[in-house]
Structure 1
Amino acid sequence: MNADMLQVADAVAREKSVDRELVLESMEQALKTAARRTYGTKVVEASIDRLTGEIALCHARTVVEEVEDEENELTLEEAKELDASAEIGSVFREPLEPIQLDRVAAQTAKQVINQKIREAERARVVAEYEPRVGEIVVGIVKRVERGNVYVDLGRGEGVMYREDLLPRESFRQGDRVRTYLREVRNQPKGALIYLSRADAGMVLKLFEQEVPEIQDGLVTIQAISRDPGSRSKIAVISTDVGVDPVGACVGMRGARVQAIVNELHGEKVDIIEWTEDPAAFVVNALAPAEVERVLVDEDNGSIEVAVAEDQLAIAIGRRGQNVRLASELTGWTVEIMTLGDEKQKRENEVQAAKDAFVSGLDIDEDFSLLLINEGFLTLSDLAYCAIDELTAIEGLEEELATEIQNRARNSLLNSALKEDGDDEPLVALMDIEGMSADIAEALTLQGIVSANALADAASDEIEPIAGVDEERLNTLIIAAREACGWFKE
């Protein structure tokens, strides 16, 4: 019987791929649990000899200063009678008679052993696969249930849910499959290994496997966007001037990228050279469409792209796919329009600016067009720009530039007054102590065009302004309230 215990432990350890010592510890815990039915409230310890398989049970009693559990504790004086070297915390163990496992006790012991082994299996799977998150793993399809694919990875089982598969992709039991290890989650019912073939990381890792230059660090994938099963775009850059990043990824006669396309069942892959210039990057990302003009709006993080009429459908792509992927790849909001639409939009913007300048600044159309041609399109642009930007215009002296700026600010204040519809006199932002032109411009862009509006605001209602921390913003708000007469008696 004793030798059988060791044989059982060895067999379970091999079958479950867990440590033999852990199985024996589980058996000892099971014996302790079963012994409670025989020995009641006694603290029982069980041990299995690792060489002979001999089972030993003992009653453990602890030496304490004041006894609260007479059955399992003893005083130091009592302990000294048994062993002169005893001290507080010492444990005395008295052998107990072996127990006979009835059906209930045996079932309890079995549950304890199974629980311990499941915990060990879960910990082993997590320890083995968690460091591999973000890698491509190979497995065999074990079963398919309700569209979800369960994959045998050798020492663990992974699952690909329906949304992690490519469209129209199906697997059968026994199929060999390459997947992206997306996540490992340790749950009470067992460790779950989440796999995916639709994740953008799948494309990235396939390129790393197929392109030696990426493995060597000569080519780097900077960004990736993907519409699984249809099209992917990747942006690459070379760290060596002698290496063409796009050519390296395409391979001789397209062999490298074709291998990836085949693995993804025909999914198209656009390889784009990454550049720091956002306009050039967006133009590259919209390929194969030909772009005529690009306008970058850094403040709003958007880019307007004008294309010829016959290129509009190509630039937008089927169901907006091309422009959507380009936007995800570059991180910019991309707006596509035809040359005609772009021209009409520019004309509308110029006309609106011209009307605002003529009426708001009391200047003629020629002067307003001069300002527009220099890039000023709103009264706010004029009101809170650096005075140097205006004096840089040919023929515009500092005195006239200052007058134009003051008129722009007054016009904005008058507009705000009409919108507010009350009799409270408005105070200009620049009349606030400590206010700078840059901060005033940033506030104006947020719709705070007067000291009155700033006085009514709270710091957490104002979007962050570069170079202005919360303490300074609160100081400006207090200064605005002082300028508006809040603290006058």
Structure 2
Amino acid sequence: MNEEILLIAESVSNEKDLPKETIFEAIELALASAAKKKFNDEVSIKVDINPETGEYESFRTWEVVDFETYEDSHIHILVDSDHAEEQGYKIGDIYREPIDNPEFGRIAAQAAKQVIVQRVRDAERLEVIKKFRAYLGTLINGTVKKVTRELIIIDLGDNAEASLSRRDLVQGEIYRVGDRIKGILEESIRENRSSQLILSRSSKEMVVELFKLEVPEIAEEVIQIRSVARDSGTRTKIAVKTNDVRIDPVGACVGMRGSRVQAVSNELGNERIDIVVWDDDPAKLLINTLSPAEVTSIVMDDDTGTMEVVVKDENLALAIGRNGQNIRLSSELVGWDIQISGENDNLDITDSPENALIKFMGVDKDLALKLIENDFETVLKISQAEPSDLEKIENIDIEISETLIERAEEALLEIALADIEDESEGIKSDVALETIKSLNKEFIELLSAADIKNKDDLADLASDELAPILNIDEEEAGKIIMEARADWF
């Protein structure tokens, strides 16, 4: 058996190009696994192999632990036990007791083989990962080897493979076996399993590495990419900076007739890419980021990291973007929370027809005053007017008249929807548990945990149902329920 162990270690090491130490460790685990078959209880076995002679010894081991860590007498010894004190053991020491080397039958040999095979596979994978660790976080090329529903297997060469999850693809991308593919190489540490190489095409680093390929000034660090915000597959914003006053960093990244930025966009499925000049002042950077929307004021709160931004009303939709994408990416790029509004959002419309028209109709002050002078002081009156009525006003033609009426109709719809929403919020607040005076904060938390969310839910309970929830007697529970039912009478 001794010579056989040496032969196995030698042959597997040569065949798999792995260190002998790795093979000996696998064999030791396999021998320990086989030795455990002799015991009915869960025990800890350690096998030591002499790499020179192939001879090995088997030991049953116990770890010395304190009372809090102690679990099982078959694998642990208490540090304050008589045996531990006699031997002078400390926490973390290992007590070893020699046992007979096991006889290897067919089942034991098969188990040993499985352990060796698995360890060798893990070792091979680890050796491959070690070769590629120098390239982690960089752009790497590969070939699609296999496509499944959940992921794509990429052949990186040198017997290395990486997996590309569907969620790490750019939206809408489809790959087939044999296609070439680029991605950012990353390492995934899986619990209770070995590491794995993975690729990502949806990360911010993907954009940075592609610009390094297309823009020599970035690769040579003449231009720096200081910040990136990305919605994979739709839009990316990057902020660039250079210390060389002779170079236009945005122009260099865009390239002649947009050739450089277009090459990056094409690789990412025509993802839209906005390039702005970096500024160390967050407010100035935000102005650059929101351009061409015109910012009229910025209020910064350093304590909360929040900016209150006001833009011209005609630019508000542009600044926010579709589904809030533009302002969300701008916030990520700058690194501040952004609250955005139009110039007229905070106008006081109480007893001010002029401000009401400016806010709801989006007209300027002069036009609002003209409309009021001609008895069109409300949005409703304008919506009910005929174009010919508005044409009588100076400098208002048929086209402007129709536009004003259309705006007024849209504004009325927005006002109606806002009133419905406010009414709905008011109804919700009227039935909130906080409106019941006999409920303290602790009671409200207990009710919420029991899925009793509002006054109506509480009113539907019986006193014997509520009492155990709040740990009170049924009489007190009855009083709380009657208070919740007050609106019924």
Calculate the TM-score normalised by the size of structure 1: 0.53
1:189 is aligned to 2:193:
yes
1:302 is aligned to 2:333:
no
Question: 1:238 offset after TM fit, Å?
Answer: 0.6
Question: 1:148 offset after TM fit, Å?
Answer: 1.8
1:147 to 131, 145, 150: 150
Question: 1:185 offset after TM fit, Å?
Answer: 0.8
Any residues of structure 2 matched to 1:435-454 within 5 Å, and which?
none
Any residues of structure 2 matched to 1:197-236 within 5 Å, and which?
197-236=201-240
Q: Residues 36 and 57 from structure 1, CA distance in 2 versus in 1: closer, same or farther, beyond 3 angstroms?
A: farther
For 1:15-74, what per-residue CA distance to the aligned partner results, in whole angstroms no more than 9, with x for missing partners? 645324422553466567768999xxx99865565xxxx8556799xxxxxxxxxxxxxx
* Contact 1:279-1:303 within 8 A present in 2 as well: no
Question: 1:251 offset after TM fit, Å?
Answer: 2.4
What is the Cα-based RMSD across aligned positions, in Å? Answer: 4.3
Question: 1:170 offset after TM fit, Å?
Answer: 1.7
Q: Residues 147 and 22 from structure 1, CA distance in 2 versus in 1: closer, same or farther, beyond 3 angstroms?
A: closer
Code of the residue aligned with 1:26 in structure 2: it is: A
- Counterpart-to-counterpart distance in 1, 2:225 and 2:263: 18
Q: Residues 16 and 169 from structure 1, CA distance in 2 versus in 1: closer, same or farther, beyond 3 angstroms?
A: farther
- Counterpart-to-counterpart distance in 2, 1:304 and 1:44: 69
- Counterpart-to-counterpart distance in 2, 1:104 and 1:16: 25
Question: 1:212 offset after TM fit, Å?
Answer: 2.1
- Counterpart-to-counterpart distance in 1, 2:35 and 2:339: 75
Match of 1:113 in 2: 116
1:290 is aligned to 2:293:
yes
Match of 1:250 in 2: 254
Q: Residues 346 and 130 from structure 1, CA distance in 2 versus in 1: closer, same or farther, beyond 3 angstroms?
A: farther
1:323 to 321, 327, 332: 327
Any residues of structure 2 matched to 1:20-39 within 5 Å, and which?
20-24=20-24, 26-27=26-27, 30=30
Calculate the TM-score normalised by the size of structure 2: 0.53
Question: 1:230 offset after TM fit, Å?
Answer: 0.7
For 1:301-350, what per-residue CA distance to the aligned partner results, in whole angstroms no more than 9, with x for missing partners? 213232352x4433222222222211211123444444xxx14625679x
Is the partner of 2:230 in helix, strand or coil? strand
Is the partner of 1:139 in helix, strand or coil? strand
- Counterpart-to-counterpart distance in 2, 1:243 and 1:99: 75
- Counterpart-to-counterpart distance in 1, 2:296 and 2:174: 44
For 1:243-262, what per-residue CA distance to the aligned partner results, in whole angstroms no more than 9, with x for missing partners? 22112222233232222112
Code of the residue aligned with 2:346 in structure 1: it is: K
Aligned length: 312
Match of 1:391 in 2: none
Is the partner of 2:211 in helix, strand or coil? helix
* Contact 1:13-1:19 within 8 A present in 2 as well: yes
Match of 1:168 in 2: 172
In structure 1, the gaps of 5 or more residues are 61-92, 352-489
* Contact 1:158-1:195 within 8 A present in 2 as well: yes
Is the partner of 1:234 in helix, strand or coil? strand
* Contact 2:313-2:344 within 8 A present in 1 as well: no
Is the partner of 2:346 in helix, strand or coil? helix
Is the partner of 1:323 in helix, strand or coil? helix
* Contact 1:291-1:308 within 8 A present in 2 as well: no
Q: Residues 59 and 285 from structure 1, CA distance in 2 versus in 1: closer, same or farther, beyond 3 angstroms?
A: closer
- Counterpart-to-counterpart distance in 1, 2:267 and 2:127: 31
Match of 2:399 in 1: none
In structure 2, the gaps of 5 or more residues are 39-44, 60-97, 353-489
Any residues of structure 2 matched to 1:55-454 within 5 Å, and which?
56=55, 102-130=105-133, 132-154=135-157, 155-287=159-291, 289-291=292-294, 293-298=296-301, 301-309=306-314, 311-338=315-342, 342-343=343-344, 345=346
For 1:440-483, what per-residue CA distance to the aligned partner results, in whole angstroms no more than 9, with x for missing partners? xxxxxxxxxxxxxxxxxxxxxxxxxxxxxxxxxxxxxxxxxxxx
